[in-house]
């Protein structure tokens, strides 16, 4: 992608908009490639890309370069948001899976409080009264939407707050504090993870590699990486929920 001059953003001609779309179209592919598309047989990659393009168009229409923020930083959450909206519209997550996931999270949280540490797969499977093999299958099923369900953990007010991008001239103190709190929480959780799990999170969220690329580096399958990622997200969700409860009591 080439650097777009600010004066092009001020032009509302169809030619200017077309140039912007063509230049930033790779951002849509970037977002889609980081989703577990291969694990979603009922959803085509083309459909996700189409939804992402809608998000890109909206981002182009609303972007204000005077705020000093890179368009990539501004556009990616909106592209992902458009894809998520389409997935919700399709209601592609079976209710039975949502129920199983809810029970898994409740059981994990209950055991963590009881044991004072993260429960093992054996302990968790016993709590759920299922085999460890069935638990591993559930992790794989969860991997299809763990990236989506984590976003849903935040309330609408918090999501709106986090999506706002302040200008360099006016800094919102509450927003700055909120972002710092979340970063500190995630940093602390990452530091507590086993080395392999921490490596996966760093490669995925900081190095921005796809699950498939991470699997190739670690010598395991994409589905295995997705399974481990789901377990990490489960830990993260439970810890965030615990912190949320402490702040409201």
Whole-angstrom distance, CA of residue 169 vs CA of residue 48: 36
What's residue 79's pLDDT?
Answer: 92
**CA quadruple 57, 58, 61, 62: dihedral sign:** negative
The whole-model pTM stands at 0.60
**What six digits make up the tokens of 190?**
């990452």
Whole-angstrom distance, CA of residue 28 vs CA of residue 43: 16
What's residue 12's pLDDT?
Answer: 54
To the nearest 10°, report the CA torsion of 33, 36, 41, 46: -20
Radius of gyration of the chain (CA): 20
Could you tell me if 56 and 77 are in contact, meaning their C-beta atoms sit under 8 angstroms apart?
Answer: no
Whole-angstrom distance, CA of residue 119 vs CA of residue 125: 10
Query: Mean pLDDT per segment of 10 residues, for the chain of length 249 residues?
Result: 60 72 90 69 79 92 84 88 81 74 89 89 93 87 60 40 40 55 71 86 81 90 84 81 68
Domains and CATH numbers, the chain: 6-90 (1.10.1740.10), 95-248 (1.10.10.10)
To the nearest 10°, report the CA torsion of 154, 163, 206, 1: 150
């Amino acid at each position: 992608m080439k650097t777009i001059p600010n004066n092009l953003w001020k032009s509302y001609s169809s030619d200017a908009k077309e140039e912007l779309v063509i230049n930033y179209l790779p951002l849509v592919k970037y977002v889609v490639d980081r989703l577990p598309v291969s694990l979603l047989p009922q959803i085509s990659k083309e459909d996700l890309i189409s939804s992402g393009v809608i998000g890109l168009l909206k981002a182009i229409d609303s972007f204000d370069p005077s705020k000093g923020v890179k368009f990539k930083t501004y556009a990616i959450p909106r592209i992902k948001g458009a894809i998520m909206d389409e997935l919700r519209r399709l209601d592609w997550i079976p209710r039975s899976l949502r129920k199983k996931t809810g029970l898994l999270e409740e059981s994990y949280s209950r055991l963590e409080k009881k044991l004072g540490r993260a429960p093992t797969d054996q302990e968790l499977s016993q709590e759920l009264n299922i085999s460890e093999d069935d638990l591993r299958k559930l992790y794989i099923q969860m991997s299809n939407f763990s990236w989506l369900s984590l976003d849903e953990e935040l309330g609408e007010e918090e999501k709106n707050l986090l999506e706002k991008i302040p200008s360099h001239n006016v800094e919102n103190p509450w927003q700055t504090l909120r972002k710092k709190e979340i970063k500190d929480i995630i940093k602390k959780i990452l530091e507590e993870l086993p080395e392999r799990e921490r490596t996966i999170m760093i490669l995925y969220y900081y190095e921005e590699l796809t699950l498939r690329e991470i699997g190739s580096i670690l010598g395991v399958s994409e589905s295995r990486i997705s399974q481990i990622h789901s377990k990490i997200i489960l830990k993260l969700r439970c810890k965030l929920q615990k912190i949320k409860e402490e702040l409201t009591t």
